[in-house]
Amino acid sequence: MNAFDFIGELSRRWRTFAWIAFGVAVLGTALIAATPTTYTSSTQLLVSIDGSTTFEAYQNDDVARERINSYLPLLTSEVVSQRVVDELRSSQTAEQLAEHVSAARVPPNTSLIDVSVSAPSPDEARALADAYATEFISYTRALETPTGMGAQKVRVTQVSGASDPCSDVPVRLALGIPTALIAIVLGAAAVWIRSGSTRRRHPELAMLVKGN
């Protein structure tokens, strides 16, 4: 079947195409609408190391960037999440909360870490982002200060408070485009399958249509 034949089949079987495409579009839209709205708030942490000379400062910048590689998985670990759960008395488990947290180094190769937390409400997202910053700073302070030593050399500070939460509604609306495309493709596929089945069962009809 060439393209012109298929276009002819679409015009003859437009009801099949319309029903399948409409059904898929409605189902996809319903699934998107049923997905709960989530809000994401972000905060930034700075990793720095004390240095008294210019040479040490350059060395410390390199060490700080390397230290970030070990901090990133810690931020999304259940260890830190449990501290946040305890602090906020959240009903979620540490494992559940950790699934909604992401951490990434701010490009280019800097000593800044972006921490983003998602939650069902904007207030909760903002509170969680600030709590993660506070608890992580406290946690790393204990890690970086050896027993019996003075102030720690590695420091983590929060350089920006939790941002105004943004919802995922624009992303969900954008999903309407691929949903519509999938509906069109499946509607066309249904016409193709039905047409092929008819041609196999009634070859004489296929020859008649082709002749016309």
- CATH assignment of the domain containing 86: 3.30.70.1130
Hey, which bits of the chain come out as E strands? 39-49, 101-105, 112-119, 154-160, 166-167
- Give me the domain span that covers residue 150: 39-167
If we measure between CA atoms, which residue out of 170, 162, 140 comes closest to residue 64?
140
CA separation (Å) from 43 to 4, 53, 85, 99, 116? 57, 30, 18, 17, 7
Tell whether 49 and 149 lie within a shared domain. Answer: yes
Tell whether 147 and 188 lie within a shared domain. Answer: no
Tell whether 30 and 57 lie within a shared domain. Answer: no
pLDDT (tens, 9 = 90+) of the chain, 212 residues, equals 556 666 677 777 778 888 888 888 888 878 867 777 889 999 999 988 765 444 454 456 667 777 888 899 999 889 999 999 999 988 889 999 999 999 998 877 778 899 999 999 999 999 999 999 999 999 988 887 765 555 567 888 999 889 988 876 676 677 778 888 888 888 888 877 777 665 555 554 444 444 44
Those residues with Cβ within 8 angstroms of residue 206's Cβ, 6 or more apart along the chain or in another chain: 198, 199
Please tell me the distance from the alpha carbon of residue 200 to that of residue 19, in angstroms, as a whole number.
23
Predicted structure pTM score: 0.65
